[in-house]
Amino acid sequence: MDVNSLDIAFKMTPGPGGELADMVIDTSPIRRKWQDVPYANQSKAQMLDIYLPEQGDGPFPVLIFVHGGAYIFGNKRDSQFLHAIGGIKHGYAVVSVEYRLATEAQFPYPLFDVKAAIRFLRAHAKEYMLDPDRFALSGDSAGGFYTALAAATQDIPGYEDKTQGNAEYSSKVQCAVTWYGCFDFLKMIPEGEEKPETQAAGPAFPDVRAMLLGAPPKQISGLVYFTNAVNFITDKLPPMLIQHGDGDMIVPVSQAFELYDKITEVCGPERAELEIFKGWNHGGVCLDWYEQKNQTHVYEFLDKHLKK
């Protein structure tokens, strides 16, 4: 697979229960890196990896990636990281963030983790040759959910836990990219149906939204309001690129339209870009997401906002 001319290798490792296998990127060919760096101390999951371009002393603009996995699985080095690792060939420092999954901590703690990671990176920017004024946040699927919500709530103190460290530093980002993210839990189920869309992943797949929130969304609709990035869009939102496939069987493409429409309504058409790919399914099912043909536009967007 060609990902921005990187020589990508994979290895198979046992899944969380030992019965599945995760496709993990072999990052050993990348010379300049720091791996398993703790950004907080409340959980072993609170670690991140940092990868630098082969040449240059920085400070580099930073692409921060938040993996997906239906809120209950995935990790910072699995195949989803193909969305972002090519950034080192485009002059970006690339960071992959691990966070607490819903099997360990329910919402909002995983969101707190993402923001704690951003604060850590800004606090230690000089040490890792990062430019603290040029941060982009990105994520796919569940990671797209956290990305959009982190960007929308970056001026709201209640949406981060500064006891995790580096409280004097900001968790703001200068732009954001979401791939096939879910934003509105209450609209994930078509009217009149009881099974969540995630059943498309298999008949035994759990209602991961209930696992993340502690109850099915329709039973706690008042609380679910606070999980939806659409409800917190203001004119302070950083520029956002939203990508989705209209053949997505896991997260309806309507989620992307809802977020885009709200951003353009509040902030104007220049604040968001929406790209819908005809026939593309969810990431992990559709491998087109990781190919060069899609990566080009992503880096054009990032360059526009981080390399002026």
Q: Which amino acid is at 241?
A: L
Q: Rounded to whole angstroms, what are the CA distances from 243 to 122, 193, 198, 307?
A: 27, 26, 19, 21
The predicted model gives 98-104 an average pLDDT of 97
Characterize 176-188 residue by residue with b for buried, 16 or more Cβ atoms within 10 angstroms of its Cβ, and e for exposed. bbbbbbbbbbebb
> Average pLDDT of 153-175?
96
pLDDT in tens, 74-90: 999 999 999 999 999 99
Confidence of residue 174 (pLDDT cuts 50, 70, 90): very high
Q: What does DSSP assign to residue 233?
A: -
Give strand pairing partners of 78: 24
**pLDDT on residue 164:** 97
Amino acid at 36: D
Question: What is the reported pTM?
Answer: 0.91
In angstroms, the CA 70 to CA 82 distance is 18
Residue 197: per-residue pLDDT: 45
Residue 29's region, left for phi above 0, alpha for psi from -120 to 50, else beta, is alpha
- Can you give the residue ranges of every domain in the chain? 9-306
Average pLDDT over residues 187-205: 51
Fold of 9-306: Rossmann fold (3.40.50)
Give the span between the Cα atoms of 174 and 155, in whole angstroms: 13
